[in-house]
Amino acid sequence: MLEKTAHAVRLIVKDNGGGITIHPIEKIFEPYVSTKEQNEGTGIGLYMAKLIIEKSMKGKLEARNENGGAIFTIEIEKGFKEALGGSPL
């Protein structure tokens, strides 16, 4: 789902796969944290995504469990591209 406010754009991605089992949930954004078997992933993807969104794009990446699934929310201020020299969203 895509939401727009006067100052931000928010992308919300939901699933019904049972939610995130790592506690506390914020730990999923730490490097090398993975729910996969050994040698099936590096555990760096969510860490890199959060780093890019929050440091380079001045946005927010959050996760939570709700109704038997996970919800990821990405929020980016509308003017961030212009601040970096690009065209506005």
What's residue 35's pLDDT?
76
pLDDT over 70 at 81, yes or no: no
How many angstroms separate the CA atoms of 83 and 32, rounded? 32
What percentage of residues in the chain have a pLDDT greater than 90?
Answer: 71
Q: Please enumerate in sequence order all residues whose Cβ is within 8 A of that of 41, keeping only pairs 6 or more positions apart, or say none.
A: 34
pLDDT, average across residues 71-77 = 96
Confidence (pLDDT) at 89: 52
In degrees, rounded to 5, the angle at the alpha carbon of residue 9 between the alpha carbons of residues 5 and 11 is 125
8-45 pLDDT, tens digit per residue, is 999 999 999 999 999 999 999 999 988 777 777 788 99
Residues in the chain: 89
All structural domains of the chain, each given as residue ranges with its CATH number in brackets, are 2-83 (3.30.565.10)
In angstroms, rounded to a whole number, what is the distance separating the alpha carbons of residues 62 and 13?
Answer: 11
